[in-house]
Amino acid sequence: MPKIRSSVVQYFHRQLGNFTIKELSKETSTALAEYLLHWGIWHLLVLERKKEAQYLLLNLDLLEKMLSNRVDWINIYRWWDSLGGEEAAMGYIAVVKESLLQLPDEKFLIQCSNVLTLAKDAFWIRLGKEIGELLFQVHSESSSPIWLKILGSLSVIYWDMGEDDKAENMMLAALKKSQLLHGKHHVAVMSLHNDLGCLYRHSKQYMKAEKHLKLALKYRILKLGENHPETLRSMNDYGYLLQSTKQYKKADSFYKRALNGREKILGFKHPDTAISLGNLATLFMDMGDLEKSDFYYQKALSSIWESMGRDHILSLTIENAYGVLLCKKQDYQKSLEYIARVYTKLKDKYGSSNPETLWCARGLSELYEKMERLADSKQLLSDSLKSACERYEDSNNEVLNIVEALVAFHCRCNDTAQVNELLNRFEQYDPQRFKIYSQN
């Protein structure tokens, strides 16, 4: 088989993704050359037949190598983004449905796992959910390594959708099977421990979260080293737990270790680096150092916009948080420009009941109140509660977060009747959270 020169590989890589490539690992570059040649994708690209190239990429064996390398991950995300993002990748669902008419082989499951990993990391929730649930109908009792990886990705997608209970049950089942298959300290097991820790932190079960996150960090350092991207993720996630429990100095230390490693290994223009910068910004905001917070938010936005574009959900999340900071700095008009734009984008793309949309709605409502637009503030929270209750159970954390914001609003307005009405319905699900309002 003839070889394709490295410069030609990079040229076609740019053509496929329509962006300037800075770094592609040697292993991936070699595999990409073989792939382009084998499938003739480079002919299609020369002829600008992108749809046909896209079809071949749905069966991309190279995905696994690229997705295991966080530098290459951003490259393959950009490929798909240039071809239409999640909508383009949805074509893979037809491939899955057709394959499930027969008993899928291991190679097909590996491809599905790769696509699910991409969907999970890119926050392509609809794609991940549909593929994962199709597979779950056939393989729910399987304990093969590749199926456990699929189960782990699907559980994170459920978490992103706000279905914490389903995500927890799926993660625990995958963890138990993975421990039996690999042993307690395998890196695949640590990945599930880390995801469980993050889920428990999100639901404010901090003791459970600490147990899983510390274990994942310990064995990732031992088995992968301090500067491996997955170890750096554990450092960042453990820092987030420390921040959530107001251990700010310790959180600062872990965040900066993660940031230094990510800048060194992944570079500045990478979403993982942007996440570390954004977390430092929120930390300094919690500590009351608004100028330092502003500095890190500006860097985080620069990083995420360069790597993912301005309208990706990670970009919108950081932009919304920056709007909250501007509100704290009493720059209300500029804050409104950011938060209102983000809310509109999230609502249009993900719907009014998506967890990120609901979080943004709470921030926008608070801003309206500070701008003395009380009617707008109340209406936004009321609409958000209605949307959340239509999608989730009353006991769901997304519902209770909106309820708490609405109760606090009515307390500030001295509307006792509304406060009591909300407490009568929701207090039973989290008495500790609403205790302060009951006493008042």
The Cα 385–Cα 248 span in angstroms is: 32
Instruction: Answer yes or no: is 250 within a domain.
Output: no
Whole-number pLDDT of residue 176: 92
Q: What is the mean pLDDT of each run of 10 residues along the chain (440 residues)?
A: 49 46 53 52 53 55 52 61 68 72 70 77 80 76 78 86 87 92 92 94 93 96 91 96 97 97 89 95 97 97 90 92 96 97 93 91 95 96 94 88 92 90 88 76
Give the other-Cβ count within 10 Å of 211's Cβ.
15
> Can you spell out the DSSP letters for 297-340?
HHHHHHHHHHHH-TTSHHHHHHHHHHHHHHHHTT-HHHHHHHHH
Of 33, 57, 83, which marks where a domain is finished?
Answer: 83
The Cα 267–Cα 23 span in angstroms is: 10
Domain that holds residue 37: 1-83
Sole residue written with tokens 């992108």: 50
pTM: 0.79
- Name the domain count of the chain: 2
Instruction: Answer yes or no: is 50 within a domain.
Output: yes
Instruction: Answer yes or no: is 300 within a domain.
Output: no
Whole-number pLDDT of residue 379: 96
Instruction: Answer yes or no: is 286 within a domain.
Output: no
Q: The domain spanning residue 410 has which CATH number?
A: 1.25.40.10
CA distance to 177, 186, 195, 214, 437, per residue, from 189 (Å): 9, 5, 10, 13, 42
Give the other-Cβ count within 10 Å of 98's Cβ.
9
Of 49, 83, 117, which marks where a domain is finished?
Answer: 83
Give the other-Cβ count within 10 Å of 376's Cβ.
15
Whether 313 and 122 have beta carbons less than 8 Å apart is answered as: no
Q: Please name the residue ranges forming H helices in 100-163.
A: 106-122, 125-139, 145-160
CA distance to 122, 138, 312, 325, per residue, from 81 (Å): 10, 30, 10, 30
Instruction: Answer yes or no: is 154 within a domain.
Output: no
Of 22, 49, 83, which marks where a domain is finished?
Answer: 83
Instruction: Answer yes or no: is 210 within a domain.
Output: no
Estimate to the nearest angstrom the gap between the alpha carbon of 218 and the chain centroid.
23
Instruction: Answer yes or no: is 294 within a domain.
Output: no
Instruction: Answer yes or no: is 298 within a domain.
Output: no
